[in-house]
């Protein structure tokens, strides 16, 4: 077993040379082949080694993307969409070479429909930029993976983050997509109505397809009103299990928490150091409540009772917008904080997500593994969704430690699957989890492969990711 | 143009005879071929004429369904899933004959996971039976089309109803499905975690596929806690436009209405007569608020202010559970109430759904058409979702009236599509709306056809519905 299911795929060298030549003619300086740029465009946030594309095209419009895809379709050359390069599963690697389409120049917010609580934008807009653009209108877009990712990439990965417990994931917040299909045609997946029963749900098929079925060139997203009252704070517990059980109880009584994020003690320590916080070194829940003043007062009272029952501290509130922003910035920086916590180590992302009733048990068994295997592996989690990340910090030159991390991850993924959960709540399959996709979905993985073949018969769209095509 | 896109498809007479013979041997009395039963199993709730299957098999397990599908796959014979027969778009018709699989004997609630707020059940459980089974546990399942439909059928149609404005549709409330695929294999689409990024979203692909990709034999659904406070009432307006504008304003400020249902004056009249109500003959909103006592008090105050601004009456509350049940029973019975309103007429269901900002305009233009074309066509709608049903009550022997109804429906569907809405918010495409699916989705309809071909290459699953395969 290897950490990632990486291999070089067969390269179509002649096709690639021809396609690059044609595209260079068409795109001039918008096509680049210098080594550092190629390296950057296969860069991902994790330990997964780079596999370089042969050229990068900086697309500025749907038509640019169409042109690239048409040439690549004709010459059977891979096309890989690139946003901010923050995939955790090797999503932008080019195992068979090909053309990376950089979409960051497509960064316009095209129209805010405040009346319908939606926005239409290009895929290179990042989540932070979108929220800056919306602020004056009292609206926000809640989905917030740790990185300041592009919204096209977030849709492609079915991303979520800290607010998903209240507002759902990209699955729930994408209204429609414009997609350049593998044959170069452009398809709009839906209109802007709140619901539809018109045929197969192409929007939901494209959300989470990780660029393997087409390239997203425009998105309409659901917006939400900024609540009258936003209250954030932390609540600390004696054990991780108590913190998990407080979360479970809050979810089971239907408390509409906006955020409930677990940090175990090592993660609390790492965040204290990286983000200059001074939390007590204990398992911690970072909390946020959204609503009217009265609504938030009710919610916090109810949560307080649950926490007290489980030995939690009273909620320590942050009192200004600046403090609140600092709290959540610290949470979003958990990944770099972890890396800084063990200098020289690589972080190996995991993404277990289980039914909420199994959360405490799943986390406890995982901590036992970490201890038994003598690993350093802080835990952070969107526990209201049953989703947590335990990230072994591994000295990659220590083969024994790598092997122990592999053992832990194997056990973790098998455990989540056995608990009717998933090996990935929000990161995607990419290259790293294809083996587990097959274990988790069984015959469903074959249906996915059949769909891939029907839509992309020449396998030019982000090959080597998500599905396994009898390779 | 015809009201429904109905035609006989080519029958595989030899295959059908062989399959019926084999299945008769296997299933004995569980397979029936008498005429009235065949008639009943192609019966739909609307004017659409019946197209009979050749036999009905009463399945009692996933294995039964598998056996039928395997035999039908071998002999290339159509298989049509049947629940309560309440499709509004000819969903259970058998245009090329074949086997109807009646799933109503598969009516067990298999497990209620109160801790995870989910339930696993067989497809023949109806929505009312499910809520009776859940009542003791303080939980409910919100999706409520007018009919007491089966949950398998509701998932297949991506149904919704009055609560969708707060709780979403079947798209949002199906966690996973067990599906017998066209080759007889069984696939489970997902686990029970609240979210997943593991590959293509097979659950959402199957929800709304109307039995054309496989037959649902088990479902896990999301449940909700019965709120502390449920308050219902009606609020009446001088014009339909005022009622729509009150709805739009309430949605735009993010009021979490549980139900907001429009009746125009003719519909108010029809419901008064059919359900023995005594609403004033005016455009009416039927309302429901869910929350804590304080939360509901806040919501109703805010809604009251909006309504008053638009000339609405103060909310007339219903004060007992019996009265509340009567109110919503009356709403669910809108369809038979309409039919009784013009004896001898057929009701022709429509299902426009537009972005909320376009609702008032869309309804107003539609009412203009109804008047101009001299039709009787009451309106009822889930207006919080931008979804409304205007149903011409037509004397089918009056060719001129039929033609005028066709004109109205054509204009309605083209209007909703032009407004970035959909021709079907919740009824599905079936046979009746295939032409409009192509207009609405353009190249997307071709992608749907490609998916259909890849999963069901012999087109045995509910042929002649949803997608058009170069027929």
Put simply, whether B374 touches A (Cβ < 8 Å) is no
Q: Is residue B1 very low, low, confident or very high in pLDDT (cuts 50, 70, 90)?
A: very low
Checking phi first, is residue B110 left (phi over 0); if not, alpha (psi -120 to 50) or beta? alpha
DSSP string, B120-143: EE-TT-BHHHHHHHHGGGTEE---
Mutate to test the interface with A, among B89, B140, B195 (most CBs of A within 10 A): B195
Is a pLDDT exceeding 90 seen at residue A280?
Answer: yes
Beta carbons of B424 and A114 less than 8 Å apart: no
Report chain A's terminal Cα–Cα distance, integer Å. 17
Put simply, whether B162 touches A (Cβ < 8 Å) is no
Mean pLDDT value of segment A28-50: 90
Is a pLDDT exceeding 60 seen at residue B89?
Answer: yes
> What residue of A is the nearest CA neighbor of B253?
A225
Beta carbons of A199 and B466 less than 8 Å apart: yes
Is a pLDDT exceeding 70 seen at residue B3?
Answer: no
Mean pLDDT value of segment A377-401: 97
A229-418: CATH topology: Vanillyl-alcohol Oxidase; Chain A, domain 3 (3.40.462)
Beta carbons of B195 and A169 less than 8 Å apart: yes
Mean pLDDT value of segment A220-230: 95
Q: Render pLDDT for B170-225 as a digit per residue (tens, 0 to 9).
A: 999 999 999 999 999 999 999 999 999 999 999 999 999 999 999 999 999 999 99
User: Which pLDDT does position A106 carry in this prediction?
Assistant: 98
CA-to-CA distance for A344 and A349, rounded, in angstroms?
A: 16
Is a pLDDT exceeding 90 seen at residue A361?
Answer: yes
Is a pLDDT exceeding 80 seen at residue A377?
Answer: yes
Mean pLDDT value of segment B45-51: 83
Q: Is residue B4 very low, low, confident or very high in pLDDT (cuts 50, 70, 90)?
A: low
Mutate to test the interface with A, among B447, B450, B454 (most CBs of A within 10 A): B447
Of the candidates A194, A295, A353, which has its C-beta nearest B196's C-beta?
Answer: A353
Cβ-based contacts under 8 A for chains A and B: 276
Put simply, whether A208 touches B (Cβ < 8 Å) is yes
User: Which pLDDT does position A252 carry in this prediction?
Assistant: 87
Of the candidates A114, A197, A355, which has its C-beta nearest B192's C-beta?
Answer: A355
Q: Render pLDDT for B92-120 as a digit per residue (tens, 0 to 9).
A: 999 999 999 999 999 999 999 999 999 99
Mean pLDDT value of segment A34-57: 90
Put simply, whether B192 touches A (Cβ < 8 Å) is yes
Mean pLDDT value of segment B152-166: 97
A109-225: CATH topology: 3.30.465
Is a pLDDT exceeding 60 seen at residue B445?
Answer: yes
Beta carbons of B355 and A455 less than 8 Å apart: no
Mean pLDDT value of segment B42-56: 87
CA-derived radius of gyration, chain B: 22
CA-to-CA distance for A159 and A142, rounded, in angstroms?
A: 11
User: Which pLDDT does position B399 carry in this prediction?
Assistant: 96
DSSP string, B198-250: SSS-HHHHHTTSTTSS-EEEEEEEE-EEPPSEEEEEEEE-SSHHHHHHHHHHH
Q: Could you tell me which CATH class the domain A13-105 is placed in?
A: alpha beta
Mean pLDDT value of segment B329-348: 95
User: Which pLDDT does position B213 carry in this prediction?
Assistant: 98
Q: Render pLDDT for B245-268 as a digit per residue (tens, 0 to 9).
A: 999 999 988 899 999 999 999 999
User: Which pLDDT does position B230 carry in this prediction?
Assistant: 97
Beta carbons of A353 and B225 less than 8 Å apart: no
Give the neighbor-by-neighbor strand order of the sheet with A379-382.
Answer: A316-317, A229-236, A284-291, A259-263, A379-382, A387-390, A352-353
Q: Spell out the domain ranges in chain A.
A: 13-105, 109-225, 229-418
Residues 6+ apart with CB under 8 A from A56: A31, A32, A33, A37, A38, A41, A82, A99, A100, A101, A102
Mutate to test the interface with A, among B140, B197, B260 (most CBs of A within 10 A): B197
Q: Whose CA is closest to B390, among B259, B280, B270, B277? A: B270
User: Which pLDDT does position A8 carry in this prediction?
Assistant: 63
Beta carbons of B387 and A195 less than 8 Å apart: yes
Task: Tell me the pLDDT of chain B averaged across its residues.
Answer: 95
Provide the ipTM: 0.96
Mean pLDDT value of segment A136-160: 96
User: Which pLDDT does position A432 carry in this prediction?
Assistant: 85
Report chain B's terminal Cα–Cα distance, integer Å. 17
% chain B with pLDDT above 90: 94
> What residue of B is the nearest CA neighbor of A159?
B197
Put simply, whether B115 touches A (Cβ < 8 Å) is yes
User: Which pLDDT does position A5 carry in this prediction?
Assistant: 54
Checking phi first, is residue A310 left (phi over 0); if not, alpha (psi -120 to 50) or beta? alpha
Beta carbons of B192 and A116 less than 8 Å apart: no
Which of A95-99, A301-305, B44-48 comes out lowest in average pLDDT? Answer: B44-48
Of the candidates B292, B386, B437, which has its C-beta nearest A298's C-beta?
Answer: B292
Residues 6+ apart with CB under 8 A from A280: A236, A268
Task: Tell me the pLDDT of chain A averaged across its residues.
Answer: 95
Beta carbons of A116 and B355 less than 8 Å apart: yes
- Scanning A434-463 for CB atoms below 8 A from B yields 436-437, 440-445, 447-448, 450-455
Mean pLDDT value of segment A210-217: 98
Is a pLDDT exceeding 80 seen at residue A303?
Answer: yes
Which of B10-14, B233-237, B405-409 comes out lowest in average pLDDT? Answer: B10-14
């Amino acid at each position: 077993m290897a950490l990632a299911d990486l291999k070089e795929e067969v390269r179509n060298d002649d096709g690639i040379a021809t396609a690059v030549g044609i595209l260079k003619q068409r795109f001039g300086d918008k096509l680049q082949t210098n080594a550092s740029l190629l390296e950057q465009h296969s860069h991902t946030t994790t330990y997964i080694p780079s596999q370089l594309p042969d050229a990068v095209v900086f697309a500025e419009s749907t038509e640019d993307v169409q042109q690239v895809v048409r040439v690549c379709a004709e010459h059977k050359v891979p096309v890989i969409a690139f946003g901010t390069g923050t995939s955790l599963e090797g999503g932008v690697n080019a195992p068979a070479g090909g053309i990376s389409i950089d979409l960051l120049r497509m960064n316009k917010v095209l129209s805010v429909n405040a009346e319908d609580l939606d926005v239409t934008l290009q895929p290179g807009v990042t989540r932070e930029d979108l929220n800056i653009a919306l602020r004056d209108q009292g609206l926000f877009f809640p989905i917030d993976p740790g990185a300041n990712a592009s919204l096209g990439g977030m849709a492609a990965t079915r991303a979520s983050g800290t607010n998903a417990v209240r507002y759902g994931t990209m699955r729930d917040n994408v209204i429609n997509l414009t997609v350049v299909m593998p044959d170069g045609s452009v398809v709009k997946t839906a209109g802007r109505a709140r619901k539809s029963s018109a045929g197969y749900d192409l929007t939901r098929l494209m959300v989470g397809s990780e660029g393997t079925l087409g390239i997203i060139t425009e998105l309409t997203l659901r917006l939400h009103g900024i609540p009258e009252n936003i209250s954030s704070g932390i609540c600390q517990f004696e054990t991780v299990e108590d913190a998990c059980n407080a979360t479970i109880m809050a979810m089971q009584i239907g408390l509409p928490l906006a955020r409930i994020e677990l940090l175990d003690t090592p993660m609390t320590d790492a965040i204290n150091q990286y983000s200059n916080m001074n939390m007590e070194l204990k398992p911690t829940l970072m909390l946020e409540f959204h609503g009217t003043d009265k609504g938030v007062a009710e919610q916090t009272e109810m949560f307080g009772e649950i926490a007290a029952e489980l030995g939690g501290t009273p909620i320590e509130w942050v009192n200004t917008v600046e403090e609140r922003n600092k709290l959540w910035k610290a949470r979003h920086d958990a990944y770099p904080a972890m890396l800084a916590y063990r200098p020289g180590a690589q972080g190996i992302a995991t993404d277990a997500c289980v039914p909420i009733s199994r959360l405490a048990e799943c986390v406890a068994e995982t901590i036992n593994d970490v201890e038994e295997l003598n690993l350093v592996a802080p835990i952070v989690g969107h526990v209201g969704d049953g989703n947590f990340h335990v990230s072994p910090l591994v000295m990659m030159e220590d083969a024994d430690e790598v092997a122990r991390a592999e053992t832990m991850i194997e056990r973790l993924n098998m455990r989540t699957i056995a608990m009717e959960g998933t090996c990935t709540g929000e990161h995607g399959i990419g290259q790293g989890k294809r083996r587990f996709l097959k274990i988790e979905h069984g015959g469903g993985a074959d249906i996915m492969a059949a769909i891939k073949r029907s839509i992309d018969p020449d396998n030019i769209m982000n090959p080597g990711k998500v599905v396994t095509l009898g390779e």
